Structure formats: C-alpha cells, structure tokens
Structure 1
Amino acid sequence: MELVVNSPLQNQIVGGEEIVSNTSRNFIEANTKQVTLEHLRKDCIIPVFAKDNESTISHYQFVQKTREIAQDLFPEFQVAEPDIRISHLIKGRIPSAIGKPAKELLEHEKTLYYERCAFVMEIPEVVENVNGNNLALTIGGVRAYNQENLFSKKSPEKFKVFIGFKNMVCTNLCISTDGLANQIKVTDVDQLSFAVEGLLQQYDREHHLGLMERMSRYLITEEQFAHFVGKLRMYQFMDKSEQKKLFPVSLNDGQINTVVKNYYSCPNFKRSDDGSINLWKLYNLFTEANKSSYIDNNFERSVNAYELTNNLVNSLQSGARNWFLHN
C-alpha cells in the first residue's frame, strides 16, 4: 500500500478546486485544509481494524450524525452547512494496481482518506451579543484515526464533541468546560448519537454566557500583563511536580508569542491606550493564538484558555493572590 502523509492536497486531488478551498477566517489554521461533506462521503475510503476487517465509523458518518442530532434538538432553527477541516492525507491504491508505478496510476485506482478531521456548524439564528461581539451558537467535533489501534481487532473508537459559541468578529471558538466531551468512546453510530445528544442537552448556555460577560468587567495593567507573560514563559520550563501546584496552562511558547504580538496589533482585542487590557480581550487573544493548534488538541486548549481566564477573573474579583499576576 502506498502511504503519503502531509503532502500538499492540491497536488493530490483531481479537481481540487472543487473540494479544497482556503479562507482567511478559519476556526483552525494549523496544518489543515477545508473539504466538503460530500467529498468525505463520495471520495474517501473507510479504514478498518486490520485483524477482523471490521469497519470504523467514518468521518462522514460522524459529521452527518452530529448535524442530524443538532437539527432535531433545535427544530425551530436551521443548522448551517458544516465547516470541515482535515489533515494528514493517507493515499493508497486498489488491489489491482499493486506494483504499478505511481505515475501510471489511473484515478479510479487511487484511494484516500484523512487521518484527522475537525468540523464546526453554526446555528446562525441563535446569536448572543457579549461585550459588544456577536457570538453564534456552534457545535463541532474532532476525529483522529491516529488515536485508534487500527492494527488490532475492533475496539471502542474515540471522538470529541463540543457545543459553545463562535465569535463572529474573528471566528474564535468559545468553549466552556461543560460544553466539551473529549473522551467519547463508542463502538457504533447509535452509541455515538447517544453521547452527542447527551452533551448538547446538558450544556448550560446561560452560565457560559454569564461567565464570558463577566470577563469584560475586569482588567489588568500593562505591568500585570508583562508579569503574566513572564510567568507563562516560566511555566513552560518548570519541573512537572512544580507545574502540578499551579493552574495548568496548555498554550505553547509560540502561541504565547502570538498573544503578545496581538496585544499590540490585534484590531479587535488589542490593549487600551494606557496599556491595560480587559480579560474578555485577553481571552480572545488566547483563542486566536489557539488556532495554530493541531486538530488533536485544539478543543482542549480552547477550554483551557476559558478556564485560565476565569481563574484570573476569580482572583481579581476576590482579591486572592494569583501566581500568574503577583510576585
């Protein structure tokens, strides 16, 4: 079998301009391309578990089933077409083409699927204004075949699903702790449907909106921001035992650099003239930087950004000492 990972998709898909498109307003940017749901249905093979040849749940089934559930739970609204991002293209060929030189392969002899897939779908009629920004209710998920042991017999498959909001100013995802299920393990589509429906029903939208609105009421000075950034950099290199004593931070060093850059230059969320920045803006600097995270950990880092910001808000509200803000 011929395997190629991370090659440019435009060079690998005939008529790629109809399948893959680029946009400057993506919910995730790192190492991904945009594809259509129809492309996943028609053009992609479905991996199997090697030892018993049992089929996995395909990316198409995951996206389509989530969309159906969302539409059932919000019947008065129209769920938008999913925005699907993929990465790590796996190429192959049909059995009759074994041994044939790659340059002589015909189109019908080629196969493909994507190791990783992330998607979001808006409910555009459900829009809330928080701190002057319109946020659209959004549902999405992640599937990564690299987290499955496809060389074994069929076993529970892993999925991640979220419900939260997308900031329409910048397409940043706002995901709360109770809006993410990152450890869904199922063996069939029915179990997957049950898990997705359970998450969507338990999500507390009003509580999520209230905590995001609260962020704008607290700010840090330029000096506190500089102190905070320094502590974030220190955290990256601390011993694991020391990190466990502190609030966890999942942004990497490059993303911290992006936060600092956008603190000065972001047209929507940069600092005030006196150098201060409210925590709603800081939160959006976090979620903007998180767009560079890979599909595998994007949603978890988004939740961590939400939790970290609320940790700062709680400290400012109560006057309690916070390692990230105080000496």
Structure 2
Amino acid sequence: MCIWSDGYTGTIKARNITELMKQIFACFAYFARSGFENQLTLLRQFPEYYLTESQFVTFLGRTKLYQYLPSQEKKGLPEFMFGENQLSMVARDYLADADFSRTDTGDISLWNLYNLFTGANKMSYIDSFLNRGLNASQVIHHLTES
C-alpha cells in the first residue's frame, strides 16, 4: 500500500514483476508530484525543536497510555501506531543511541526523536512498516505544532 500524508492511498496489486514495477513507479510519481516538497519542508523543521527531558518523559508516558484510552478520547488525538515494544526501544535509545540520543542536558531534538521512532519501526512487520513510518512523521509534526 502506498500512503502519503495528504491521505492518498493506493493499493499495489500485481500478478508479475512488470505490473509490480509499474505500480511502484506510479506510487513514486504521485509522491514526486504531490508530497515531496511538503515532506522535505516538514522534515527540515524537526531539528529546530527540542523536548526537555521532562517533556520527553511526559510524551512517552502518554504514548504508552494511548492504546488503553477509550475510543471516544482517541478521536480527538492524532493516531498513534507504535506499540509497547517500539516505545521501549525509543526509551532505551533516548539514553544510549550513539547518534540520536539526548543531549548532555537531557534535551532531545525532534529530528533525533523522529529517528528513534524510525529506528524502532525497523522491527515492524512489513505490512505495518510503511504506515508506522508515516505515522512517526505525523506524530513528530504534531509535536512541532504544540
């Protein structure tokens, strides 16, 4: 499935390699036409914003509670597709990742946090990998707005 931030969803179905290649190129072409510049602009904003250690801990705690919220409360919140295992990896890497961990003061840029989420996403099954990757950028974007 090809999913972009503007809501476009295109299912890729193919019976042979040629059809698969055509579908993949069509997906890339759509992204190039509609979302590439927007996505770059979004990603360029992430290094400009930081969370303090206290804000990070609050954010992480609230994300762990997300799956237990009543559906009525979830409606007012952005979707969050990461589970307990991925959140534990983000928490661990916040402290220990060689490239994207916190600063000496405990702050973390939203760029580094985004990379912690995409790193944790690498352990996802293939059927949820793309959706979670998109969800990571959406969640971090919501943090830039708040």
Corresponding position: 1:291 with 2:119: no
Deviation at 1:312, TM superposition (A): 0.7
Which one has the bigger helix percentage?
2
Amino acid at match of 1:201: A
Distance in 1, Cα, partners of 2:26 & 2:12: 14
1:5-154 correspondence to structure 2 within 5 Å: none
User: What stretches of structure 1 of length at least 5 have no aligned partner?
Assistant: 1-159, 163-175, 316-327
**Which SS does the other structure have where 2:11 is aligned?**
strand
Distance in 2, Cα, partners of 1:310 & 1:287: 14
**Equivalent residue in structure 2 for 1:262, among 70, 93, 98:** 93
Give the match for residue 313 of structure 1. Answer: 144
**Equivalent residue in structure 2 for 1:276, among 107, 111, 120:** 107
Of structures 1 and 2, the one scoring higher in RCO (CA 8 A, sep 6+) is 2
Which one has the bigger strand percentage?
1
Amino acid at match of 1:207: N
Q: Percent identity?
A: 32
Deviation at 1:195, TM superposition (A): 3.5
Amino acid at match of 1:184: T
Distance in 1, Cα, partners of 2:28 & 2:112: 27
Per the normalisation by structure 1, the TM-score is 0.40
- Whether contact under 8 Å (2:12, 2:24) holds in the other structure is no
Corresponding position: 1:215 with 2:43: no
Distance in 2, Cα, partners of 1:206 & 1:314: 19
User: What stretches of structure 2 of length at least 5 have no aligned partner?
Assistant: none
The count of aligned residue pairs is 142
Q: 1:186 to 1:289 in 2, by over 3 A?
A: closer
Distance in 2, Cα, partners of 1:280 & 1:222: 15
Of structures 1 and 2, the larger Rg is shown by 1
Distance in 2, Cα, partners of 1:188 & 1:292: 28
Q: 1:222 to 1:187 in 2, by over 3 A?
A: closer
Per the normalisation by structure 2, the TM-score is 0.85
**Equivalent residue in structure 1 for 2:67, among 228, 233, 236:** 236
